[in-house]
Amino acid sequence: MQSAFFNPGPTTTEGQIASLHLSRDQQLPVQLTTVASRAEDQGYAEGVVTNTRFGSFPHSTLIDIPWGCQVLASKVDTGTRGRDNFTHSRKRKANAISTDSPTDSTESASLKQATAANSGFIHVLPPTPESWTTSLPHRTQVVYTPDYSYVLQQIRAQPGSTLIEAGSGSGSFTHAAARAVFQGAPTSLNNASKTEEMHTAGKVFTFEFHAERHEKVKTEMEEHGLDSIVTATHRDVYKDGFWLTGERGAYQSPRANCIFLDLPAPWEALPHLTRQDTPDKPSALDPDSTAYVCTFSPCIEQVQRTVSTMRRLSWLEIEMVEIQHKRIEVKREYTGLKYEGMRGVNPVAATVDEALERLRQVEENAREHQQDTRNKSRSKNGVQQNNSSESAVQKHWDEGKLIHRAEPELKTHTSYLVFAVLPREWTEEDEATARARTGQID
């Protein structure tokens, strides 16, 4: 399976999707190509160019380099075709800084030259569902990483699972689901053949009734190399459920064991997720395993209707969860010495000599303050404890105080998650088989 998401290979190649890492919260997905097919790419002498706030990056400098490289911005000229100093291959070599830093002195020199000439840099990373979620083109509200990681774990999505999703929306959850069910760990960067061997099953069936959104998700799955795992179907699931169309139009069961419903009215889809077979339609659930469902609804009224329908349809262990995602910033704050040293010192200096004098003054003040604190600590704790309390004070001055605070988050409430379980049917025959297997006798 050729997906940059699971199996990117050791280096970037033409046609792959890459995640350009600009900063911790900013990633840019790009399809790497040197073929300028869009009008806006035609004006550049360098071919296709991605412009960012850290500078311009011709794709010729991003292709055929090891994943994870830092790439320096290029000077891009829209009207100087052929006048560029670097040929593209030389430029690629000069701009890509591998994680193994170059030892060759000529290369280091050209890197320095390029650094001086350019304004910024980016890192070229293989795409992940997480980076895709933060940067995908939004067509709807999407499910974010804190929610989908919890959902996938709770509905027991694992390599080999069969997962039903409705609606597909912008495909954010779809990417994470594809990775969860993919039979084979997401790769280390050059573990291609191993992952290929391990990929035997694991499926996502995603349903969407909005024609354009369905088409877009289907195309994305193909472009991202995920179409062997994800089957996208255009369907109103309230009306027509989750069956697949087999030979001569016969209904086939997807045999799902995990279900995720991100729909305005999940209670209208739930009646299609029972264990009953009808003469022409088999149950959409896997008869040999427990089914786990999660619904995702922003309002408590939707939750109430969903829970009530689940109870009527014999779903068990129904519970509602709300994820409150907080990012905690942990850092050391240098309050002690530096702060004390600055006391009484005028921070403004007119000359370099004056500035140096102020610095000397700050250091002197700090030393005095430190000595003072040591003396106080001695008289308080007694001579016996001198060493340990002194080193604690020293450590505090040297390393600063460890503090933490929650980073402000814009999104607090996304949705309520309702989870439930539908056990497999257990017949007399199943019981007899189980007893025989475990050697139990009546």
Q: What are the residues binding ligand SAM (CB under 6 A)?
A: 140-143, 166-167, 169-173, 207-210, 213, 236-238, 262-264
Q: What is the CA radius of gyration of the chain?
A: 30
Q: 3-state class of 161 per DSSP?
A: coil
Closest to ligand SAM by CB, 88 vs 234, is 234
Q: Which is nearer to ligand SAM, 67 or 267 (CB)?
A: 267
CB 227 to ligand SAM: min, Å: 17
Distances (CA, A) of 348 to 343, 351, 355, 357, 358: 13, 9, 8, 11, 9
Name the minimum Å distance from CB 392 to ligand SAM: 50
Contact (Cβ atoms closer than 8 angstroms) between residue 182 and residue 199: yes
Q: Which residues of 341-361 are buried (b: 16+ CB within 10 A; e: fewer)?
A: beeeeeeeeeeeeeeeebeee
The CB-of-177 to ligand SAM minimum distance in angstroms stands at 9
Smallest gap from Cβ 175 to ligand SAM, in A, equals 9
Q: How far is the CB of 229 from ligand SAM (least distance, A)?
A: 16
Q: Which residue has the tokens 């056990």?
A: 423
Note whether 309 and 316 are within 8 A (CB).
no
- Whose Cβ is closer to ligand SAM: residue 173's or residue 243's? 173
Q: Is the peptide bond before 225 cis (omega within 30 degrees of 0)?
A: no
Select 59 or 216, whichever has its Cβ closest to ligand SAM: 216
**What does each C-alpha distance from 342 to 150, 361, 394 come to in angstroms?**
48, 8, 18
Nearest distance from residue 216's CB to ligand SAM, in Å?
A: 10
Instruction: Say if residues 127 and 17 touch (Cβ distance below 8 Å).
Output: yes
Provide the 8-state DSSP code for 305.
H
| 236 vs 390 by CB, closer to ligand SAM | 236
Closer residue to ligand SAM, CB minimum distance, 173 or 416: 173
Long-range contacts of 21-25 (CB under 8 A, 24+ apart): 21/122, 21/123, 21/124, 21/125, 21/131, 22/52, 22/53, 22/54, 22/122, 25/134
Q: In the bound complex, what is the minimum distance in angstroms from residue 259's beta carbon to ligand SAM?
A: 13
Comparison of 17 and 204: residue with beta carbon closer to ligand SAM: 204
Shortest approach of ligand SAM to residue 285 CB, angstroms? 18
- By beta-carbon proximity to ligand SAM, the closer residue of 67 and 209 is 209
Residue type, 263: L
**251 in helix, strand or coil?**
strand
Task: Give me the least distance between CB of 48 and ligand SAM, in Å please.
Answer: 27
Q: Report the residue number, 86 or 267, with the smaller CB distance to ligand SAM.
A: 267
Contact indicator for 148, 245 with CB cutoff of 8 Å = no
**Structure tokens, 110:** 């050209």
Question: Minimum CB separation from ligand SAM for residue 387, in Å?
Answer: 58
Instruction: Give residues with Cβ within 8 angstroms of 147, minimum separation 6.
Output: 296, 323, 414, 415, 417
Nearer to ligand SAM, 58 or 171 (CB): 171
Tell the burial category of 104 from Cβ atoms under 10 Å away from its Cβ (0-12, 13-18, 19+).
Answer: exposed
Any idea of the CA torsion for 219, 225, 230, 232, to the nearest 10 degrees? 10
CA 275 – CA 299 distance, rounded (Å): 28
